[in-house]
């Protein structure tokens, strides 16, 4: 078998996956789980002799637009899913993020399994939740080499623990996903964005809070400071829905925010382009300095950035009303302690190192360390799926 | 489930009762420990009243430190613990055990923080679901998930059961509206997950805890998302000559890109019972009655009402009314909201089921249910959260007729098996509890259930928290943890490779 062991594993069926994991479990042989490799630079690098290439386990197995449900093999390219949903004017409402360009690679890659395993969603988080809020069911092979499923194809389901959520965002460290059932939703008929100009980070925070607290049903609230906007700090407030509704709401929102200076209405096409850039973190594309993704209390976002900037040169912009900060450190190392302590003293949250070379991601905890009791619980949780630590070992260290 | 088998009583624990009472009294002084049989009577069942058991000892802690100490004491001494909120569970989630401390969280009834800028509220678990809305209503906000027991049920219980409600098609279940929890595990550790930030770090333990039916820990604080109240709401009341037409109308509304705030359907027996009771003006000559509620900005609601009207007519609606004011809208809902008591009027007892099916299977499921109804000679009325496929069949029976409860339960089990058979699930929002525990193998393989139980082992290795609920068979954690090595018979060489 030695020549076989040198090779990567390329399962084509669920049984192949099961056989591969059972073999790895028996041999205590770590596996790196890979789809198209588009998110390989996320998380702590794993060092394994073998990889489990899931791209051969591909294809949509069920799509019922009227039932708002789609099921696909974990290795199915997202591009295929987007195209299919497009045909039916539907979408994954959590706005899958494509970090390819920002990470220095190509855009347009990634599989459903990778998307679920990283749980990184876009601007609509504020209104529609994250990836985990749209995963209805999964089938997977645990690190023990056992097939298990959780959830189902219906939205309303409280039968047993929700292990579909339980494996979402686990970076493949608990189980190898083989099948994923996801909730799909109709696309909005149209969208417009109200853009405010020239606001400071603190003023933008106020404006976004006011907008989000109104009944305008804002589905995106972002702020780009001057140096990351074209010439003037830009605050974006997106409204989506049926045309008469969007027209009505943008009028009301403009009135509500009259005190925040001039504003402009961006039409559907301009709006889409702006939000695409925010979603995929394009302001930091084309560079290679460290980038952090910080999840924090929305109203505290600008204070966190202010605290960090007092000690080092950094650029930052805000999504999720300030609750998501994309921050690029401009000089020296990743400044993990500074970033994380700044979050800690401003309402809490956590910071994940998204862009950094492999050496940095080996030495700096990519994921924020948890308080001791939670860290111990997380460890026991992982060990109950993968006792020998054979699946993406170390990838999520810090969590 | 009438012959419900619960875990064997721990005689050792039972024999130490006086000592345990006094230890608990030293942790929770004053009236926080109830050990008198008569006083404990009030806790002997939850919303699933067919099942009763006297608790071993009832404890009503007031502080997180007390909860942690009680849990640690019970954990260290091998004493089982059953958590309880308001006791409105319809699946026996809070059914006491005779050798378990019943940990009642009702004194945790304070709203700790309302943060409008971040649209969230931090509350203690004993605050009622509606209590959160009341606390934020002055500023025009509300808490979206609205289980029908919302006036009484606690938010801690909602987290335990992942409660839904009429509006969860558009606004999500509890799991989608909780940002963080503080929880005490059986070893007395206080764990905080999430908070005011939108995403917790690490594994999604919040997602696992929500809906875990009190088997993983006791929630002592909850951070929930609050929303600005929609500007307005209007409803359509639409009757159809067949359930197929009604079902197709629901599908067409959703296909048109419309996600209503609420979309409820009733079948003929439920319509008649409701109309007889509240005189809501429901049509009596229809097989299916659909309430579609649209909420949001006025311009949107008016526009969508028109679109839904066209869709309804296209689907052969035989009656159609549109609310023009709040009074009319409330009248449309009056019958639906009174459906359970209405059915209670036409039968000595009724048993409420809670399966979810793919929406398109509704006509098939209703037809099969009618057959089962004849076979068991028991009437059934259906209310249906049509938007998300959550079906509540109400089986009418008389508990005073010997054997009729058992027959009803068999009928109910058949209905749930039918739900699973057509691609649905055993429970949409009421939970497994003791009620559906023994049906779990209908939906899950042994390995599925073992993996779930391993998750429990991570939280509660001695399985002291709410045992006998959710899982039909209790495996010891040591047994579950054992690796079965597949060495030697691995078909590895058959893997395609390059």
Q: What is the pLDDT of residues A206-223, one digit of tens each?
A: 999 999 999 999 999 999
- Would you give the DSSP letter of residue B204? -
The rounded Cα A168 to chain-centroid distance in angstroms is: 11
Among candidates A1, A247, A295 on the partner chain, residue whose Cβ is nearest the Cβ of B197: A295
Q: Which of residues 253-292 of A touch B (CB under 8 A)?
A: none
CATH number of B232-340: 3.30.70.3450
The Cα–Cα gap between A55 and A33 comes to 10
Inter-chain residue contact B495 with A129, CB threshold 8 Å: no
**Could you tell me the CATH number of the domain that includes residue A43?**
3.30.465.10
Location of each CATH 3.30.43.10 domain in chain B: 11-104
- Reported residue count of chain B is 498
Residue A8: the pLDDT is 83
Judge: B481–A387 Cβ closer than 8 Å, yes or no. yes
Q: Chain B within 8 Å of A399 (Cβ-Cβ)? A: yes
CA-based nearest residue to A174, from A144, A150, A151, A134: A144
ipTM: 0.96
- Token reading at B495: 């893997």
Q: Mean pLDDT over residues B298-314, rounded?
A: 96
Element (H, E) at A264: strand A263-266
Domain topology for B11-104: 3.30.43
Instruction: Using the structure block, give the residue that is written with the tokens 């690029």.
Output: A328
Please tell me the distance in Å from B121's CA to the nearest CA on chain A. 13
- Is A48 found in the same domain as A81? yes
- Give the HSE-up count for residue B446: Cα atoms under 13 Å, Cβ half-sphere: 4
Contact A335, A305 (CB under 8 A): no
CB contacts of B447 in chain A (<8 Å) are: 146-148
Check if A153 contacts B (Cβ < 8 Å): yes
Q: Which residue has the tokens 């495996």?
A: B475
Residue B473 predicted with pLDDT over 90: no
Q: What is the dihedral of CA B450, B451, B452, B455, to 10 degrees?
A: 120
Residues A163, B491: C-beta atoms closer than 8 Å? no
Are B207 and A165 within 8 A, CB to CB? yes
* Alpha carbon distance B46, B41 (integer Å): 11
Integer Cα distance of B78 and B463 in angstroms: 9
Instruction: Let me know: does B181 contact B108? Beta carbons within 8 Å.
Output: no
Does residue A67 belong to the interface with chain B, where contact is any CB pair within 8 Å? Answer: yes
Residues of B in Cβ contact (< 8 Å) with A382: 203
Question: What is the model's pLDDT at position B485?
Answer: 65
- Are A176 and A44 found together in one domain? yes
How big is chain A, counted in residues? Answer: 399
Cβ A399–B201 below 8 Å, yes or no?
Answer: yes
Are A350 and B212 in contact (CB < 8 Å)? no
- CA-CA distances (angstroms) from residue B144 to A241, B141, B224, B245, B487? 20, 9, 10, 30, 51
CB contact under 8 A, B495 and A349: no
d(CA A205, CA A321): 7
Under 8 Å between Cβ of A130 and A329: no
> How far is the C-alpha of B265 from the C-alpha of B250, rounded, in Å?
9
Tell me which H or E stretch contains B100.
strand B100-104
Q: Residue A333 corresponds to which tokens in the numbers above?
A: 């190392």
In three-state secondary structure terms, B227 is: strand
Which pair of tokens denotes residue B112? 């700790």
Contact predicate B196/B180, CB 8 Å:
yes
Q: How distant, in Å, are the alpha carbons of B151, B190, B238, B240, B265 from that of B343?
A: 21, 44, 21, 21, 15
Paired tokens of A1 = 């078998």
Separation between Cα atoms, residue A5 and residue A48, nearest integer Å: 12
Nearest CA in chain A to B201: A350
Question: Between chains, do B257 and A89 touch, taking CB under 8 Å as contact?
Answer: yes
Yes or no, beta carbons of B358 and A64 under 8 Å apart = yes
**Separation CA B64–CA A365 (nearest Å):** 32
Assign B486 a pLDDT band (cuts: 50, 70, 90). Answer: low
Taking the CA atoms of A52, A58, A61 and A66 in sequence, report the sign of the dihedral they define: positive
Contact criterion met (CB < 8 Å) for A298 and B389:
no
Please state, in angstroms and rounded to a whole number, the distance separating the CA atoms of residues A95 and A116.
Answer: 12
Q: What is the pTM of this model?
A: 0.95
B140 CB neighbours in chain A (<8 A) are 215
CB contacts, 8 Å: B462 with chain A: none
d(CA A218, CA A252): 12
Strand A175-183 and strand A185-186: the pairing is unpaired
A123 and A247: one domain? Answer: no
Contacts of A7 in chain B (CB under 8 A): 497-498
Q: Are residues A164 and A50 in the same domain?
A: yes
Position B2 confidence tier, pLDDT thresholds 50, 70, 90: low
Of the pLDDT bands very low, low, confident and very high (cuts 50, 70, 90), residue B90 is very high
CATH of the domain at A325: 3.30.70
Q: How many domains, chain A?
A: 3
Answer yes or no: do A182 and A196 share one domain: no
Portions of chain B given CATH number 3.30.70.3450: 232-340
Handedness of CA B266, B270, B272, B275 (dihedral sign): negative
Distance of CA B76 to the CA centre of its chain: 31
Cβ neighbour number for residue A79 with a 10 Å cutoff: 14
**What's the CATH code of the domain at A241?**
3.30.70.2190
Buried (b) or exposed (e) across A377-386, using 16+ Cβ within 10 A?
bbeebbbbbb
Q: Which whole number is the average pLDDT over B226-254? A: 94
Q: Is the Cβ–Cβ distance between A324 and A295 less than 8 Å?
A: yes
Mean pLDDT of chain B: 94
> CA B345, CA B274: separation in Å to the nearest integer?
10
CA–CA–CA angle B82, B86, B89 (5° rounding): 70
Is the CB of residue A189 less than 8 Å from the CB of residue B257? Answer: yes
- A16 and A87 in a single domain? The answer is yes
Q: Mark yes or no for CB contact A19/B204 under 8 Å.
A: no
A295 and A268: one domain? Answer: no
Q: What integer is the mean pLDDT of B49-63?
A: 96
Helices (H), B422-468: 440-443, 446-459
**Cα separation of A75 and B144, whole Å?**
36
Question: Could you tell me the residue range of the domain that residue A195 belongs to?
Answer: 190-279
Same domain as A215, residue A175: no
What residues contact B312, with CB distance under 8 A and at least 6 apart? B236, B238, B249, B290, B292, B320
CA–CA separation, A196 vs A235, rounded Å?
5
Q: What is the mean pLDDT of each run of 10 residues along chain A (399 residues)?
A: 56 96 94 95 92 97 95 98 97 97 96 98 96 98 97 94 97 98 96 97 98 96 94 96 96 97 95 98 95 98 98 98 98 95 97 95 93 95 96 82
- CATH, domain range B111-228: 3.30.465.10
Write the residue in B258, B358, B470 that is nearest to A67 by C-beta: B358
What is the spatial distance between Cα B191 and Cα B178, in angstroms, rounded to a whole number? 16
Percent of chain B exceeding pLDDT 70 equals 97
Q: What is the pLDDT of residues B156-215, one digit of tens each?
A: 999 999 999 888 989 999 999 999 999 999 999 999 999 999 999 999 999 999 999 999
Tell me the nearest-neighbour CA distance from A103 into chain B, angstroms.
21
Smallest CA-to-CA distance from A220 within A154, A126, A288 is with A126
Question: What is the C-alpha to C-alpha distance for residues A102 and A107, in angstroms, rounded to an integer?
Answer: 9
pLDDT score of A228: 94
On chain B, the residues whose CB falls within 8 A of the CB of A298 are 117-118, 196, 198
B231: chain A residues, CB-CB within 8 Å = 215
Q: Which residues of A touch B454 (CB under 8 A)?
A: 384-385
Contact check, Cβ <8 Å, A377/B459: yes
- Do residues A128 and A22 share a domain? yes
Contact B494 A368 (CB under 8 A): no
What does the angle CA B9 – CA B11 – CA B16 come to, to the nearest 5 degrees? 125
- Counting one residue from chain A and one from chain B, the pairs whose CB atoms sit within 8 A come to 325
Residues A210 and A179 placed together within one structural domain of the fold: no
The CATH number of the structural domain formed by B347-437 is: 3.30.70.2740
> Do A63 and A162 reside in the same domain of the chain?
yes
Both tokens of B76, joined, read: 């260290």
Chain B residues with CB inside 8 Å of A1's CB? 492-493
pLDDT at B392: 94
The predicted pLDDT at position B281 comes to: 93
Contact map slice: A 89-128 vs B, CB within 8 A: 89, 119, 125-126
Backbone angles phi, psi at B98, to 5 degrees: -70, -15
User: Are A302 and A383 within one domain?
Assistant: no
């Amino acid at each position: 078998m030695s020549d076989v062991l040198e090779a990567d594993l390329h399962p084509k069926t669920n049984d192949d996956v099961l056989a591969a994991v059972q073999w790895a479990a028996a041999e205590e042989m770590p596996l790196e789980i890979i789809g198209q490799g588009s998110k390989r630079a996320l998380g702590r690098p794993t060092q394994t002799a073998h990889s489990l290439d899931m791209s051969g386990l591909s294809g949509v197995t069920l799509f019922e637009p009227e039932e708002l449900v789609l099921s696909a093999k974990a290795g199915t390219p997202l591009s295929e899913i987007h195209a299919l949903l497009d045909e039916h004017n539907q979408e994954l409402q959590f706005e899958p993020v494509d970090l390819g360009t920002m990470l220095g690679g190509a855009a347009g890659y990634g599989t459903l399994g990778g998307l679920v395993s990283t749980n990184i969603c876009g601007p609509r988080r504020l209104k529609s939740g994250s990836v985990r809020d749209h995963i209805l069911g999964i089938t997977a092979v645990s690190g023990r080499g056992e097939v298990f499923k959780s959830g189902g194809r219906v939205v309303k389901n409280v039968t047993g623990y929700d292990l579909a959520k339980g494996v979402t965002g686990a970076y493949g460290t608990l189980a190898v996903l083989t099948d994923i059932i996801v909730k799909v939703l109709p696309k909005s008929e149209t969208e417009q964005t109200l853009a405010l100009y020239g606001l400071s980070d603190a003023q933008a925070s106020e404006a976004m809070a006011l907008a989000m607290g109104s009944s305008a049903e804002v589905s995106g609230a972002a702020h780009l400071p001057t140096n990351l906007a074209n010439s003037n700090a830009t605050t974006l407030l997106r409204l989506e829905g049926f045309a008469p509704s969007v027209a009505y709401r943008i009028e009301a929102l403009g009135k509500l925010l009259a005190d925040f200076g001039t504003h402009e209405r961006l039409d559907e096409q301009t709006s889409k382009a702006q939000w695409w850039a925010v979603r995929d973190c394009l302001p930091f594309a084309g560079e290679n300095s460290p980038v952090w993704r910080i999840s924090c209390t929305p109203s505290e976002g600008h204070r966190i950035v202010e605290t960090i900037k007092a000690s080092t040169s950094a650029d930052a912009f805000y999504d999720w009303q300030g609750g998501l900060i994309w921050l690029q450190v401009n000089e020296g190392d990743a400044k993990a302690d500074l970033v994380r302590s700044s979050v800690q003293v401003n309402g809490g949250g956590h910071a994940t190192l998204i862009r950094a070379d492999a050496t940095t991601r080996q030495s700096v905890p990519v994921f924020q360390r948890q308080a001791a009791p939670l860290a111990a619980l997380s460890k026991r949780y992982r060990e109950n799926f993968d006792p020998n630590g054979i699946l993406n070992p170390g990838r999520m260290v810090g969590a | 489930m009438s012959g419900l088998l619960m875990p064997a009583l721990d005689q050792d624990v039972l024999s130490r009762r006086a000592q345990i009472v006094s230890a608990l009294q030293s942790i929770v002084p004053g009236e926080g420990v109830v050990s008198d049989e008569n006083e404990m009577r009030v806790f002997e069942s939850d919303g699933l009243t067919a099942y009763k058991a006297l608790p071993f000892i009832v404890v009503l802690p007031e502080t997180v430190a007390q909860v942690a100490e009680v849990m640690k004491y019970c954990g260290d001494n091998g004493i089982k613990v059953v958590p309880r909120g308001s006791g409105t569970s319809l699946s026996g989630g809070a059914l006491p055990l005779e050798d378990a401390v019943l940990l009642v969280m009702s004194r945790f009834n304070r709203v700790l923080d309302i943060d409008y800028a971040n649209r969230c509220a931090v509350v203690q678990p004993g605050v009622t679901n509606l209590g959160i809305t009341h606390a934020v209503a002055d500023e025009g906000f509300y808490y979206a998930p609205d289980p029908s027991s919302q006036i009484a049920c606690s938010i801690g219980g909602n987290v335990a059961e992942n409660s839904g409600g009429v509006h969860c098609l558009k606004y999500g279940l509890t799991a989608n509206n909780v940002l963080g929890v503080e929880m005490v595990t059986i070893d007395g550790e206080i764990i905080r997950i999430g908070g005011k930030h939108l995403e917790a770090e690490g594994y999604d333990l919040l997602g696992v805890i929500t809906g875990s039916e009190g088997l993983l820990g006791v929630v002592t604080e909850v951070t929930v998302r609050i929303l600005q109240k929609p500007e307005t709401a209007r409803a359509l009341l639409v009757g159809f000559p067949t359930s197929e037409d009604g079902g197709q109308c629901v599908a067409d509304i959703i296909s048109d890109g419309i996600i209503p705030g609420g979309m409820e359907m009733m079948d003929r027996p439920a319509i008649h019972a409701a109309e007889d009771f509240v005189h809501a003006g429901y049509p009596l000559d229809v097989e299916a009655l659909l309430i579609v509620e649209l909420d949001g900005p006025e311009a949107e609601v008016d526009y969508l009402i028109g679109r839904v009207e066209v869709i309804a007519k296209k689907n052969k609606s035989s009656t159609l009314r549109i609310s023009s004011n709040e009074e009319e809208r409330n009248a449309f809902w009056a019958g639906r909201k009174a459906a359970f008591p209405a059915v209670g009027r036409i039968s000595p007892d009724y048993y409420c089921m809670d399966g979810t099916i793919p929406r398109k299977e509704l006509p098939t499921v209703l037809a099969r249910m009618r057959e089962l109804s004849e076979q068991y000679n028991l009437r059934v009325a259906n209310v249906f959260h049509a938007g998300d496929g959550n079906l509540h069949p109400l089986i009418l029976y008389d508990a005073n007729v010997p054997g009729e409860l058992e027959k009803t339960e068999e009928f109910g089990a058949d209905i749930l098996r039918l739900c699973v058979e057509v691609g649905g699930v055993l429970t949409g929002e009421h939970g497994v509890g003791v009620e559906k525990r023994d049906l779990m193998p209908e939906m899950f393989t042994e390995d599925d259930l073992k993996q779930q139980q391993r998750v429990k082992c991570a939280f509660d290795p001695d399985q002291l928290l709410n045992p006998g609920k959710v899982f039909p068979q209790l495996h010891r954690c040591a047994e579950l943890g054992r690796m079965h090595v597949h060495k030697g018979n691995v078909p590895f060489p058959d893997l395609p490779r390059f």
